[in-house]
Amino acid sequence: MRRCYAGLGGPAFQAEVVRSIHALLPVDAVFFATADPGTLLFTGAAAEDPLAAATAGSWTTSSATTTSTSSSRSRRVPGAARRWTRPPAASARYREIMSPLGLGDELRAALVTLAGCWGYLCLHRADSPHGFTPAEVRLIGRLTPT
């Protein structure tokens, strides 16, 4: 919360959030985008490799569509994507984007205030049978209240 009111510009704030996430959870890649509450479109993004190296258009379009419709409008709590689609290979997103990058489970959250959705957070783990735990999902839920 202190960082939200520190007067940082967008990229500096995103870098601080990404650093904080790594201190809280073991994750292999973080994507953090700010959004326009009216359109839910990205206004800026910070992505770590291998996400940063991926084709930005296909990854961000898929992420924005899925995250905005499932989280920001319905005010859902964050959830791990692997729990939504079993087996992972049944998901086009997993087959076409995440698996080729070596990524498996992801934990997504829409960053919502009373004024609307102002951002998206996607945390990724390397592809493995072990994903985010229910406790980790709850932690992100507490940090991203709706």
Cα atoms found within 13 Å of the Cα of residue 12, Cβ hemisphere only? 7
**Model pTM?**
0.78
Dump pLDDT digits (tens) for 7-49. Answer: 777 788 888 888 889 999 999 999 999 899 999 998 888 889 8
Please tell me the distance from the alpha carbon of residue 19 to that of residue 140, in angstroms, as a whole number: 15
User: Which domains, ranges and CATH numbers included, belong to the chain?
Assistant: 3-143 (3.30.450.40)
Residue 32 belongs to what H/E stretch?
strand 29-35
Dump pLDDT digits (tens) for 78-133. Answer: 655 555 556 777 888 888 888 899 998 889 999 888 888 989 999 999 988 878 98
